Chain A
Amino acid sequence: MSWIVQNLWLIPALPIVAAGVIALAKRPQRKLAASLAIGSMVIGFVLSAVAFAHVLSLGHGDSRITEVANINWFQFGDQWVKLGVLLDPLTSVMLLMVTFVGTLIFIYSTGYMADDENFTRFFCFLALFAGGMLTVVVSNSLLLLFMGWEVMGLTSYLLIGFWFHKPSAAAAAKKAFIVTRIGDLGFFLGMAWLYAQTGTLLFYDCGAGCLEHSAVTAMLVHTTVFGLSVSSGIALLLFCGAAGKSGQVPLHVWLPDAMEGPTPVSALIHAATMVAAGVFLVARLYWIFAISPSAIDVAGITSVALQVVTWVGAITALYGSLVAVAQYDIKRILAYSTVSQLGYMMMGLGVGNGPSVGMFHLITHAFFKALLFLGAGSIIHGCGGEQDIRRMGALRGYMPITFKTYAAGMLALCGFPLFAGFWSKDAILHAAFDYDITRIPFYIGAFGALLTAFYMTRQLCYMFIGAKHRGAPGHHGVHDDHEAESLSHPHSPHESPATMTTPMLILAAFACLLGFIGTPAWEWFQNFLDGRPATFSFGALFEGKTALLMAGSSIIVFAGIGLGWMLYGRKPIESPDAPDALEVIQPHIFRVLENAFYIDALYAATIVRLNAALAHISAWFDRWVWNGVVQTISYLVLGTAYVDSFIDNCAVNAAFDEGCTTVSRGGRMLSALQAGRVQGYLRLLGLGFVVLVVILLWGTKR
């Protein structure tokens, strides 16, 4: 058992301890809070690097590395419930990504939240969230994973509703929690079923874990409803949880509203890490998803569960990119973009031979989406709280660094050739192209890529291009904890401080360069995850199908960017109230897209109403039935008490009092005998004497 695996638990434990210390500190201490949180993440990053190096050093062969360290937690019947940590390639890359991006975002937050008075609370929650996410990543037990999952849900709620005095933020936090809860219900059912089926919740346990060969094949053999194999049933239930957390349709409705939270929160939680946890879960449990009768030992992509994953992912990818086209709020555009990219990741998991395709996109997406969100935060900060892109413009001149990094992120997201997104999205499209069952996901993905390029160009043009800034004078944006000077004169946008721009620069570098670890020429990332040695062959780039697909996706990207430029870039947008160019062309479709296909309204009319009705019924029940029972019992008790008191007063007391008065009267009567007069006593004596003598004499006479 190597040192790093023994101490892998430190990586999630340190941020949690930091959160606890910050929470318990007496006065809010900004420097302490920030340094504790950032420090714990830095140490986590160092440990993750050590873990990564360890896995690298071991992985020369072609066996999948899994090192575990399990402990017995408590006894349940005659079995032990165990927890443990797991170190394999998947874990190591996720650890690196989470700790690295997390550190950068924490540093960014010190600048962004510098004016906020709840600075320490923010860092406490951030650290707690980091601890939860890292627990999910290193966990070897589905139970421990679920615990970390729940912590993430809690901190997401706390952070979305960070400015809780805003009713919209409070409502958004509640919505996020409830919607993910619905998914978690499926998660929990799947977990229980898994435990019932295999008797363990550990992933790897020297052959006895639920992801290991014997358990998985056993699950395959049994079948349940509709002829579904048990493994698929469990996988589908677990996928409910992943769908909730990762914002797949239909449980995506919380993600756009979650943008009510501060921007670093959006960057960390709702772009890079937490929403990726769902994808991570599917990747982790891939062998349960993938196994099917036609492929027992190899990753089979024909299992029912994986097909469901693919279709859900494809639909989500399309939906997200369609709706993002018609949004006006910076963060909402990015939120729907995240929804769309998560759909891509799920699709990648579904169509790829193994989890590596989807995971590659997850890693690259984390970097450039975080970059985009940080850039959005910088823009919001610089524009004095403005979030509507119609009220921005010509920021290229005011905020050059932000513009350059944002452009890098945007190009990566679109999949511009040679940027990170290009390689990862291309891998997904390549796998979708090779999908045996149907090619529809490929077409959906391609169309989604076109739309992605289109709406990102639209956003860029609205914000950065143009001659003048359209900021409204005296507008106090949504971010109301900001400078108050903008009440009298138009706020002039300014560049953000170094604490905010430096992380963006670092992320931009990654956005440009990270993709090169997974190009077809050198598929190091995919092979690392799958446990195969990677080969470098430049010629693979120019293999027929690969080159064709690369060219095709490049053309799609250029087309999208060109379309966007034509509509939004050529003619600069004059005023904030001018209708959107697309709206002019197709008003009805635009309206539908702007309202996100009216899904929120649908939910409000059906499920929310149903819930309210159930709540009314429950309240009625509680007030009349349970309350009635309790009141009846209490009246019974009261009645018994009355009867008791009555008996006590009238019967017991009376009897006792009677007895006492009798004794007292008797005593009084007896005391009358003692008048204190000697002559009286003498008389009695005489009388007694007479009586005695009479008795004696009578006795002798007889």
Chain B
Amino acid sequence: MDPMQAIKDTFFQECEEQLGELETGLLAMENGSGDEETVNAVFRAVHSIKGGAGAFKLDKLVKFAHVFETTLDKIRTGQLAPATPVMKSMLRAADVLADLVTFSREGGTFDDARSNELIVELNAHCEQKTGEANAEEAPAEEADNNPFAALGWEPVALALEPDVNEYVIIFKPKPELYAKGNETTRLMRELSRLGALTVHCETADIPLLADLEPEQSYLSWRATLRSDQDLATVQSVFEFVDGDCHLDIEVIDFTRETPPEPEPEPAAAPVVEVVAVVEEAKPALEEVTAALEAVKATAPPPREAAKADANGANNATQNTIRVDLDRVDRLINLVGELVINQAMLTQRVLEAGAVKNASIATGLDDLEHLTREIQESVMAIRAQPVRPLFQRMSRIVREIADATGKNVRLKTEGEGAEVDRTVIERLADPLTHMIRNAVDHGLERPDQRIAAGKAAQGEVRLSAAHKSGRVVIEVADDGRGIDRQKVKAIAIKKGLIAADALLTDAEIDNLLFMPGFSTAETVSNISGRGVGMDVVKRSIQALGGRISITTKPGHGSTFSLSLPLTLAVLDGMVVKVADQTLVVPLNSILETMKPKGGEVYGLGPDSQVIGIRGGFTPLIDVGYALGFRSERADPMAGVTLLIETEGGVRSALMVDAIQDQRQVVIKSLEANYGHVEGIAAATILGDGRIALILDADAIVNASTGRNTPSEMLLAG
């Protein structure tokens, strides 16, 4: 790859992180939990983006980031109070900034009107609170607006601005400054843009050639600047080299009639000198860079401790590494194959009858443990907190709230919950859709809310929590809830159910997931994009997840997603059903039992229940339910697995025999075939054959009358 492109990619990756920080910080500021450090963090995020964007000449991004930064600076310095309207603009500015970053990375079109509108808005905030905002009005152009900058003189400004200051700047770079690729030339050039500048290079410290250390810094500069800018602006020139140089800026009040420095020494001369010195130092610098790379790559040995100390700040932040995702995926695939291979090996050894040899058995056990540990560690690499996903949602909420005129607050909980990266990626679309639905369909308009005796501001709660080996994500709104009468009427009108169908509340709620169902009477451009909850349901199912609704009319609805932590492995029980080998996910099994005579009762013509410790639980013959056999098998001949579904419903699944309990690698059935009702996925067993992984919930729902809508449709 083009090295420039690689650097650019890194920049954009960092932008993503900065944007995340920015969003978090702004939200904290908005709800009042932010402190000074939060504001600083937000400022730094925008500043870093601006800095990087400048390096790549991404002008639009720089311009916008600059205005944004200026406004933030006002807040940071206490000149502008972070009141609600200001924070609203800030959040929208963060959205535009994110869009600009995307635009800069991927090209395409960007609506300048949006950024310009916000620039005006942000400037208005600045002006409103500060009388002298004029100076900052078009800061992005300030450098360009000064045609005298190139000359190094600023003749007219003196007359107009009475409070011109003179700064004496003593600048002595440390070697680190050069090591980081900064140059005095640039800094001085930057200073010269602020006003009339004269520079002296102090060469007294340069030792004799024999004593000269090539990596040391011997030069220092004394610059005199006459400028109408304030001290902070002058200091900001040195912002990026902060800590890498000795900097001393002395302000001399210019009102005491000191005539302008008469010495007409052109700024160019020392610049040339500096360039020459820097050129000389180049090979050395390259060596330093190489050495630094080496330090990064390996832990610094003790004798290099001093060097490491000098770069202490760097090393402290080097606890994470960026790894190409493809490499991680390759590793995960390989580990997956390893798991299968280990299972095959174990099986072969068993078949060969070698288990009598204790050492082989121990060896196999150890191998299994190791494989499992490797797998878990590798999976942990991919696990990521859901925070960035949730952050994206807060933006969605803002946009829809604006578009629908609703007042909405997004409350997030459990952002730290970690889930496999693929799950997070593939969750973004369905979650976006659910959030949109919650705001657009779930919440009422402020006037309706007040009429209903609720606060004008609606709340959407987005939460994540780990629950028995899965992650449960909930989208809850405190809106009007699902109008079941209306839902049913629409379903009848659209011919999705028979007009005289008797449905339980839960069944009516589930109608929302039917293809072709949309309750919005007018198709809005927010939710009604022709994508319904059926698509959400299917994408969640494709992830091995489940979605359920609970709703309380007048009090809101909760959509609950239950997802596997990883898409790669699960612990399962290998069972035999009608000569087929199936895997039942272990996390759904409560206990296993062998039914005794007299415990199984018929209930109606087509159902059976099993008595367990005084209670009765529906008994489902898995082979019959899946259509592997046309007659129910004798319950006494099989084994019963007592399971609990996501909805908390208990059922007993009957299988012919339990064979094994093992970790299996999940293989997609959808990739080359499609979704099979009652089957979650496939896996490869030790004998190399494919076994299907049972979707216990779907089996239970299908068999106990909690029909999925599509089956009701078929039945009706």
Are A and B a genuine interacting pair, yes or no?
A: no
Q: Which residues of A contact B (CB under 8 A)?
A: none
State the B residues within 8 Å of A (CB).
none
